Structure 1
Amino acid sequence: MAEIGKGVTAGKLAINVQKRLTRAQEKVLQKLGKADETRDVAFEEMVSRFNQQMAEGTKLQKDLKAYQAAVKTMHDASRRLQDCLADMYEPDWFGKEEMDSLAEDTDTLWLEYQQNITDKSLLCIDTYLARFPDIKARIAKRDRKMVDFDSARHHFGSLQKGKKKDEAKIAKAEEELGRAQRIFEELNVELQDELPVLWDSRVGVYVNTFQNLAGHQEKFHREMGKLTQNLNDIMTKLEEQKQLNEEANHSESASSAPKSAVTNGSDGELPPGFLYKVKAIHDYAATDGDELELKIGDVVLVVAFDNPDEQDDGWLMGLLESNWLQKKDVSTKGVFPENFTQKV
């Protein structure tokens, strides 16, 4: 059985070698002008467009992968920067928890963007290009079968024109010609149907690829813009916290009198019942007519309650220093939450 197997393989190999030799001879004769060549200008134009289409699609795939790699590089750089900021951010600084959450949200957004590029845009172009190798192989096979057809046609013609006609050889040559023509025409018809459809499909592929990419880009930059604004707000609050701490430290070092000293206002510069000064470290919107509205940085002159029994825990009575200096009017005083301020 092994010898028979070898014989079959050797036979097929011999047939393939003979086919290659016959095709090579036919091509040489055609190039020398000694044998006519089957030409199909319309099909050649289709093949030219196919090659152009495949080259453009391959370049787009390459550039999309390069874009995805650049996005990954930016993601890695962003993550390292966020990690650096998290390591430096001290626990008592403003917005420590918000900073940690912001870093996590930023990392998630980058990961989603990369995955969307892969799943939507790259997958679309990969699926599109997967069709090309099979068609390219069938075009090459069609070209080989066309040479076989020309060779069979010329062989049949030469036998018919010979002085000594061998009817058996002519019949065999005619049969081989019919078979070669049939194989060639089947391939030719299939490709003539498929190539125009493939050519027209490129528009839809490009539209889907770039619409998906544009949509994900727009979403990514919109969401990243929100996170960037949040980061900017946290940094602004941190700067305000720093300035308030510096002013408080400066006031403590410059003052020689106890902060809790009570003044009766006899110097004419402070309101009656003045106790001490505080500075607002948060905004406070008054919700009642007897409350004092605060903005970050406002200096408040704390005064004693007219009736101590009216004082609630955690609330102080006072008036804005700016109003007092301008009007010297104690009627503008009001209550406010103590934890929204800091002594100065």
Structure 2
Amino acid sequence: MQNLGKADKTTDEIFEDHLLNFNTQQVNATRLHKDINNYLRCIRAMQTANKNLMDTLSEIYEKEWVGQDMLYVQAQNNEMLWADLAHKLADQVVTPLNTYQAQFPEMRKKIDKRGRKLIDFDAERHTVQQMQNNPNRNEAKFIRAKEQMENAKRTYEVLNSELHDELPALYDSRILFLVTNMQTLFAAEEVFHSETSKVYSELEAVVDKLAKEVQKGTLPRRAYNRPLPIANHSAPVIQNSSSMNSPPKATNGGSHKYRGNSPTKDYEMVGMDRDDNYHSSSHVEYNGNGNGNRISRGQYDIPSGKENQHPDEGRIGGLGGSTSIGATTDNLPPGVLYKVKAAYKYQAEDVDELNFEVGEIIQVVEYEDPEEQQEEGWLMGVKESTGQKGLFPANFSRPI
């Protein structure tokens, strides 16, 4: 009837303004609560991600490097700062916000109750007005209707009066709450970023020291013995468990070049008879520098005590047309004797030598110059990756 204009409606413009402010305040509080909680979840996610990152850096930062202890200490400090920030936000920002927001549902219930009591008062007032305009009214009912109207009016006015005081007070409280809440948030962030900047400054200093040591070449390195090539004239050496841990060393400091001659000696050239036994066939000239024998292509120097050894036993690498033990000769390109795989990294020390990394494949080929073919323990090869050709120590590789 009020909506159709058939009944009077009690209006209160001041209350309507208070109600509009209340609705705006509640919407803003709900939005702030949602975003603060989401922010805290992100802080905790970053806390976990940062801890994982620092743990990984601490584990892969080698003990020999400068500042390894400092890196671990600063990683622990950083973890504590993240945990402290998350705790402060949860305890001093989110908890007060939950208390602040909890006021709105209770106030909403009171506002709704005031609206119902206003409708009751307007209905009783409309009934009294109708009975008052009726000359044939029942006086007893009219008196009872007036009493009910007064009761409804008192109930409504009590609630309305309370809300006229409480709504403005609640609306004004938003300022002090936001000031306190935001001060706590910003102060916690300021402390966190100030302290973390110190942590990262220390970490940067650690890395700078490491970089300077690398540039100066003063960084401690693990010592590795360089591998020695196995001379073609000698039998393979069976190494024990301790000697297998060190890589071989190259003869003559890693170079295949000779630096002088030793006294000339004569050795018998040996061949194979029908019973696969060695027999003398000729003499070869031995010219060396004390590090091994220098042997012509197709000739073999048989070490003492190996006279009954098969010619292919103990020969690592090849000279001329010979083939390394365990190497396959199937499906090879023309001119390739066999293939080897680099077991160690080798840095060339002469222009006619090969550089290679561990794992590179090298094709062993014939020597072009018969004089070069006399270099003991060295092979002529072509790197498959680049096509570069040169000499390399045989025992830096393994036959394929």
The interval holding the TM-score normalised by the smaller chain is 0.5 to 0.7
Counterpart of 2:135 in structure 1: which amino acid?
K
- 1:102: Cα distance to partner? 1.1
Q: Which amino acid aligns with 1:171?
A: I
**1:119-268 equivalent positions in 2, closer than 5 A:** 119-245=91-217
| Unmatched tracts of structure 1, length 5 or more | 1-28, 257-344
Identify the match of residue 44 of structure 2 among 47, 58, 72: 72
| Cα deviation, residue 153, structure 1 | 0.5
- Judged with a 3 Å threshold, the aligned counterparts in structure 2 of structure 1 residues 169 and 231 are, in CA distance, closer, same or farther, namely same
1:76, 1:38 → 2: CA distance?
Answer: 59
- Aligned twin of 2:66: 94
Higher relative contact order structure (alpha carbons within 8 Å, sequence separation ≥ 6): 1
Judge conservation of contact 2:213–2:219 (CA < 8 Å) in 1.
no
The match for 1:81 is 53
CA distance in 2, matches of 1:204, 1:109: 28
Q: Which residue of 2 aligns with 1:58?
A: 30
Work out the CA distance in 1 between the residues paired with 2:220 and 2:153.
Answer: 99
Q: Aligned equivalents of 2:184 and 2:72: distance in 1?
A: 31
Contact 2:18-2:168 within 8 A present in 1 as well:
yes
Are 2:40 and 2:86, in contact at CA under 8 Å, matched by a contact in 1? yes
Partner Cα separation in structure 2 for residue 108 and residue 248 of structure 1 = 32
Does the Cα contact within 8 Å between 1:124 and 1:209 map onto a contact in 2?
Answer: yes
Distance 2:80 2:12 in 1: 56
1:69 Cα shift?
1.6
Question: Match of 1:35, SS?
Answer: coil
Q: Secondary structure at the match of 1:190?
A: helix
Distance 1:84 1:243 in 2: 25
**SS in structure 2 of the partner of residue 31 of structure 1:** coil
Corresponding residue pairs, total: 225
Q: Give the helix-richer structure, 1 or 2.
A: 1
Report if the CA contact (8 A) 2:67-2:206 is conserved: yes
Please state how far the C-alpha of 1:163 moved relative to its aligned partner.
Answer: 2.8
- The TM-score, its normalising length taken from structure 2, stands at 0.54
- Counterpart of 1:223 in 2: which secondary structure? helix
Deviations 1:43-97 (A, max 9, x none): 0110000000110111111111121122122222211111110121122221222
Structure number, greater radius of gyration: 2
